[in-house]
Amino acid sequence: MEKEVKFSDETLALVHKIMKRYPEGKHKSAIIPILHLAQMEFDGWLSPETMDYVASILRIQPIEVYEVASFYSMFNLKPVGKCLVEVCRTGPCWLLGAEDLVRHIEKKLNIKDGETTADGMFTLKTVECLASCGTAPMMQIGETYHENLTCDKVDQVLNEYRQKGERVTHWDKKHIKAQQ
Ligand code: FES
């Protein structure tokens, strides 16, 4: 049976607090933090049902949510593993071996860029500059930057995440709470 798309009471309360920051009729302005909350609560990605649900809360058309969600690379429009491994592939990281790291991860996890491992643990995604060029090459997992990477360091990091076996979220409710 499919999981019902409905925020938990705690998250829904946060959603309403965020919406109250904007005047009536301007609730669409709350869309980015609410999409982050949705992605966090619904397994790390935004399904069409989730986006429709967000549209109904914001009282806007679903297409308006799709437009925003498909524009920003931090929103995933298809299922991802528990651990989304985002490797920067832009200039400085590329010059310092990002391509080799990506090939190494593909081989280690037996997946290609954009794919998820059979056990649902890892998804590999190459992304544009994550603003940590001074510590290139680097990758982001959840909220953590792993920097000055080598293949050995990547192995170590991935093994640690695999051992924990937990879902790593990109965002946390604490960001909202901190702003209240
Ligand atoms: S180029 Fe990789 S963080 Fe900027």
Domains, the chain, ordered by start: 9-77 (1.10.10.1590), 83-164 (3.40.30.10)
Instruction: Give the distance, in angstroms, between the CA of residue 100 and the centroid of all CA atoms in the same chain.
Output: 23
Cα of 125 from ligand 1 centre, angstroms: 14
CB atoms within 10 A of CB 108: 16
**Residue 170's pLDDT is what?**
75
Distance CA(78)–CA(143), nearest Å, equals 20
**Residue 177's pLDDT is what?**
63
Q: What's the mean pLDDT in 51-76?
A: 96
Enter the tokens of residue 126. Answer: 């190459």
For residue 38 and ligand 1, the question of a CB distance below 6 A is answered with no
* DSSP result, 3-46: PP----HHHHHHHHHHHTTS-TT-GGGGHHHHHHHHHHHTTTS-
For residue 126 and ligand 1, the question of a CB distance below 6 A is answered with no
Mutate to test the pocket of ligand 1, among 99, 130, 149 (most ligand atoms within 8 A of CB): 130
pLDDT tens string 91-141? 999 999 999 999 999 999 999 999 999 999 999 999 999 999 999 999 999
Cα of 7 from ligand 1 centre, angstroms: 34
